[in-house]
Amino acid sequence: MAVLVQLSGTRFYRLALLPVTVWLAWRGAFVDMSGGDVKQAQANTMIIVSSVAMRVTVWASAQERFRRQDPSKKRNDSDSESIYTALWNAWDLLVNPRGIGWNWPRGLILPKPIFETDSRVTFIFLSAARLTINAFGFDACLQMIRILSPETFGSANGGSLFDGTLPPMLELARAVLVSFFTVWLAYFTIQWPYQIMAIVWVILFQQHPSQWPPLFNSPWLSTSLSELWGRRWHQMMRELLVTLGMRPFGYLFGPLGGLMGAFLVSGIFHDIELRSIGRGGNSASLIGFWVMCGVGVVLERVWKKSMGRSVGGILGWIWTFGWLALWGVPVVDEWAKSGRLGTLSLPGNFAPSLPLVTFVQRWIEL
C-alpha cells in the first residue's frame, strides 16, 4: 500500500486491497505473545499494528499520489514513478506519521528546535543528549510510581489507584500524584525511542536534521485544550484523525461533529490498544476521556463566541489541567489495573534513576 499510494492510477487497487490489509492487521494484533506470563502481557499491545492499519486506510483513500520533497520543501523530488523509487520511499512512510518531507500533510504545525543545526554530527550529539535525559526521566517516573504501591499497580499483576483503606483525601491525592507521574511517563515513553530513530535514520540513511523536528512543543505551558491538542502535544496521529474522524463526521454532522469525530476515533484507537493486552479495560473511561477532551474544546469555542476572547492565561492553565485530571485519572486507573505501570522498563531492565530515587525515598523517610 505504501508503494501504490506513490503511483498514479492506483486508487482502485488500493481500495480493493484495504479490507484484506486491515483484516490481516487485526488478526496479527491479537496474537498472544505473552505465553501466559503476566509480565509479558504488554508484548500483546497493538499500538504499532493498529497505527499501521489506520495509516493504510488513509493511503487507500488518498486522492492525490504522495510525493517526496527535499528538506527545504522548496521543490518536489523527481516525479519518477518507478517501482524502485516507490519501494525505497515506502520505508519512510512507515516510520514518518507526520509526513515530514512529503506533500500530503495539511495544516501541520511543527515545533521549532531549541538548537537548530544543519550539521548531522551536531544533530547526532544533541539527539544523544536528549535520549539520555528522556530515558532517565522515563525511568524516574516509573520508579516513583512503583514506590507508591509496589504490591498493586507497581507490580506486573496490576491494581487500582484507589485504596479504600486510606482516608478519602489521601486516597484521592495518591491517585492524582500517580496520574501526574504517568502523564510524564507517557511523554518520555514517546520521546526516547524517537531520539533513537532520529540518530539511526540520520546516520544510516543520511536524512537531513530538519526531517526530525521536536515531537512536542512544551505541552505543560498549554493554557487551553485547543492549544494542547492542536499544536503542543505530538502530532503523529493528526492526519489519521483528520482523515478517519474529522472529515467523515464533519460531512455528516458539520464542523463540531467533525471535531468530536476526531476525538472519538482517537479514543477508540487507545481503547483497542489497551484491550489487546488481554487484561480488561473500561471503554467508558478510555473512550470517554477523549470524547470529553472534545467536549472541552467545544466549550472553549462557546466561551470565545460568548465572551469575545479565547481561553488563556493562568486561569486557562488551571482549566486545561483541571479538566484533564478530572477525566484522565480513570484512564490511568485502567492502565494501572492492566499491569502496565509495573512492567514497563528500558531495554535490558536498565534503571539509571534507581539510585537517585532510592536516596530520595530514604531521605523522606528520615
- DSSP result, 213-265: --S---GGG-SSHHHIIIIIS--TTHHHHIIIIIHHHHHHHHHHHHHHHHHHH
pLDDT top residue among 21 and 135: 135
Query: pLDDT band for position 75 (50/70/90)?
Result: very low
Question: How far is the C-alpha of 306 from the C-alpha of 141, rounded, in Å?
Answer: 41
pLDDT at 251: 93
Cα distances (Å, whole numbers) of residue 211 to 78, 225, 285: 18, 27, 36
Lowest mean pLDDT among 72-76, 146-150, 290-294: 72-76
3-state secondary structure of 81: coil
- DSSP result, 92-127: HHHH-TT-TTBS---S--PPPPSS--S-HHHHHHHH
Q: pTM above the 0.75 mark?
A: yes
Percent of the chain exceeding pLDDT 90 equals 48
pLDDT top residue among 49 and 67: 67
DSSP state of 69: B
Cα distances (Å, whole numbers) of residue 75 to 32, 36, 200: 46, 53, 26
pLDDT in tens, 198-226: 999 999 888 889 889 999 999 999 999 99
Task: Look at residue 63 and tell me whether its pLDDT is greater than 60.
Answer: yes
pLDDT at 188: 96
Q: Nearest-CA neighbor of 279 among 61, 41, 115, 81?
A: 41
Query: pLDDT band for position 74 (50/70/90)?
Result: very low
Q: How many other CB atoms are there within 10 angstroms of residue 292's CB atom?
A: 18
Task: Look at residue 276 and tell me whether its pLDDT is greater than 60.
Answer: yes
Percent of the chain exceeding pLDDT 70 equals 89
pLDDT top residue among 89 and 137: 137
Query: pLDDT band for position 356 (50/70/90)?
Result: confident
Q: Pseudo-torsion of CA 279, 283, 289, 290, nearest 10°?
A: 110
Question: How far is the C-alpha of 323 from the C-alpha of 320, rounded, in Å?
Answer: 5
Asked if 98 contacts 166 with a C-beta cutoff of 8 angstroms, the reply is no
Question: How far is the C-alpha of 341 from the C-alpha of 255, rounded, in Å?
Answer: 37
Asked if 19 contacts 64 with a C-beta cutoff of 8 angstroms, the reply is no
69: β partners: 76
Question: How far is the C-alpha of 32 from the C-alpha of 36, rounded, in Å?
Answer: 8
The highest-confidence range among 11-25, 237-251, 351-365, by mean pLDDT, is 237-251
Task: Look at residue 84 and tell me whether its pLDDT is greater than 90.
Answer: no
